[in-house]
Chains A and B, each alone.
Chain A
Amino acid sequence: MSFFTSGLFWFIQGILTTVIIMAFRAWMEDRNVIMFWWKWFLFGIWIILAGFTIAFIFTSLGEGESVAAIKGGIIFSLITTISGVGIWRLINKKN
């Protein structure tokens, strides 16, 4: 088992995620945007989607499935980008 599939790795990922959430909160406060629970929910969904896309591409590469990496990368990146724009518009509303 390598470091990247170990429990320590996920512990560090958890710390990083906490920092990302705190920074996002500070950033939205500075923009005078109120973060309702559903905004956090959408933000969480998008983070998972983005993480899935990155992990899928590299897992496929690790498996030697370059076609899956390329096609999956294109499809899931498109979905992540389009949903990111939509979710950002919803989250960025001031009320």
Chain B
Amino acid sequence: MDRRKFLKASGVAGAVVGGAGLGFFGYEAGRDPDSYTGWKNREGGFQTFNRIKWAVDKPTYEKLGPSRRVDARTEVVFSRMGPLFRNWKEEEGTKSLPEYLKKYYDANPEILELDLKVKNELFPKLRKDRDKYGDKFILAEAWSDAMGAVWPEHSKEPPEIADFPERKDRKQLKMKSPEKTSKLIKKIAHQFGSTLVGITKLNPDWVYSHPMRRRGLDTDKPFEVPKHWQYAIVVGVPMSWDPMFANPNYGTSHDAYAISRIISVRLSTFIKQLGYAARPHTPGTEYDLMVPPILVDAGIGEQGRHSIVVTPELGSNFRPAIITTNIPLKPDKPIDFGVQDFCKSCKVCAEQCPSGSITKGDKVEIRGYKRYPFSPASCHNFWYSKLGNMGCRICISVCPYTRKANWVHKAAFNVSAYDPTGLADKALTAMQKIFYPGPDPQDYFIPSLGGKNASYRKPPWWLKTEDFIDL
């Protein structure tokens, strides 16, 4: 064989080997656990998105008029269900309820109907189906319970006591500059395991007008925002990726909730040791404020159609906690990487939501701000319409931004973020629907409600009960 023929033969061989190599590369990139962004990284290496490039002066929500703070006693579903079920007498109707709750339900009879449905219809059906089909989810439930087993308790004292250092002789140390303190706080938060960290000045509009229970606050009186709540630090981590894709029944919020809670308690302690006030606001229900808009203000991400904040690194798979503090900090800027435009045309979450809680329509004015309406009551009802772990999280799983950080999804992200025409968003949405379809939303329900106990994707091998336990 002469040299020229050898060269040509080498070219053919190179094409075959190179093509095969790309195949192997693709397969490895697809299954590589390192592309599960943010999981167990303690150095902040995953907060890679260049936020400065996308920084904007104003957040991507729009203020339309006078605002109203959320009354957590009634507008937060977890707060009102307990008093409702404890006090409700069918024959007396809303008269059997505390005055504030009566007033709320009288003004919102459709929400009362939805809330009562949990007790009257969903619980009995769920119990029946759990006996029949529940064994399949034993490992998932055990794993979720285990993740939630480490759960630091919060102080039951009010902010003026609980937020300050326990040692009264602890002096406020003089910090050199807000910039340096912010840098330090972020590094420490990453060291505690936080995937993302952001800082903002606290907007009082986001603090509940009447707080939730168990926080050392008088829930019957309007809540004055404490003066020392000057800044809000956002911390948080993603949920484990494989179970998260197998929502609504195999995934759990407890894993990321517990970690975010631990991080926020640690960071609060760290700040208190410097002599400043700090208060953690954490999952599950120990908040005195609304979390999503604070994430937007702190440049963590943008609020999507499903009301959850979409981050550049983790998509919607981010479970945050907040620390309110008075240590002087340099706030971050909000970011705009195109989520508002994308959500306008995408609607995948709304189409996949089994309870129809996410709108397919446009934004409306809510409490003085323009945003997509969302029904927490019907969302919460679905939690009792399916088996497996508590909650749903399907909107997080199906969000096109919630994807592994491999070359395919990184490329799609950049195309969407940089395209000013909106054409790329439309093309990517179409590809999302064609390439990554989910089950019929009705299939997510329990069989007694006409479903098939479906999950968005198959569970990871280590949560398949039937492979490990004789049922």
* A and B: bona fide binding partners: yes
B8 within 8 A of A: yes
Contact indicator A26/B22 (Cβ below 8 Å): no
Contact of A56 among B19, B408, B437 (CB under 8 A): B408
Contact of B22 among A27, A51, A62, A65 (CB under 8 A): A51
Interface size on B, residues (CB 8 A): 35
Contact indicator A19/B21 (Cβ below 8 Å): no
A83 within 8 A of B: no
B431's nearest neighbour on chain A, judged by CB, is A72
Contact indicator A26/B8 (Cβ below 8 Å): yes
Tell me which of B23-31, B219-227, B249-257, B325-333 binds A: B23-31
Chain B residues, CB < 8 A from A5: 25, 28-29, 32
Q: Give bound CA distance, A60 to B28, whole Å.
A: 10
Contact of B26 among A1, A20, A22, A55 (CB under 8 A): A55
Chain A residues, CB < 8 A from B8: 23, 26-27
Tell me the smallest distance from the CB of A33 to a CB of chain B, in Å. 14
Contact of A12 among B7, B21, B404, B435 (CB under 8 A): B21
Interface centre among B24, B25, B404, B436 (most CB of A within 10 A): B25
Contact indicator B457/A64 (Cβ below 8 Å): yes
Chain A residues, CB < 8 A from B15: 16, 20
Chain B residues, CB < 8 A from A71: 434-435
Contact indicator B12/A62 (Cβ below 8 Å): no
Interface centre among B21, B22, B26, B30 (most CB of A within 10 A): B26
Contact indicator A58/B14 (Cβ below 8 Å): no
A24 within 8 A of B: yes
A50-68 with Cβ < 8 A to chain B = 50-51, 54-65, 67-68
Chain A residues, CB < 8 A from B32: 1-2, 5, 62
Q: Helix, strand, loop or mixed for chain A's interface? A: helix
B19's nearest neighbour on chain A, judged by CB, is A54
Contact indicator A16/B28 (Cβ below 8 Å): no
Q: Give bound CA distance, A19 to B103, whole Å.
A: 78
Chain A residues, CB < 8 A from B436: 65, 67-68
Write out, one digit per residue, whether chain B residues 63-83 have a CB within 8 A of any chain A CB (1) or not (0). 000000000000000000000
Contact indicator B27/A59 (Cβ below 8 Å): yes
B11 within 8 A of A: yes
Chain B residues, CB < 8 A from A17: 14, 18
Q: A5-B32, A67-B436 are in contact. Are A55 and B25 (CB under 8 A)?
A: yes
Chain A residues, CB < 8 A from B21: 4, 9, 12-13, 16
Contact of A55 among B10, B12, B407, B434 (CB under 8 A): B407
The 5 closest A-B pairs by CB, nearest first: A23-B11, A62-B30, A58-B26, A68-B435, A55-B26
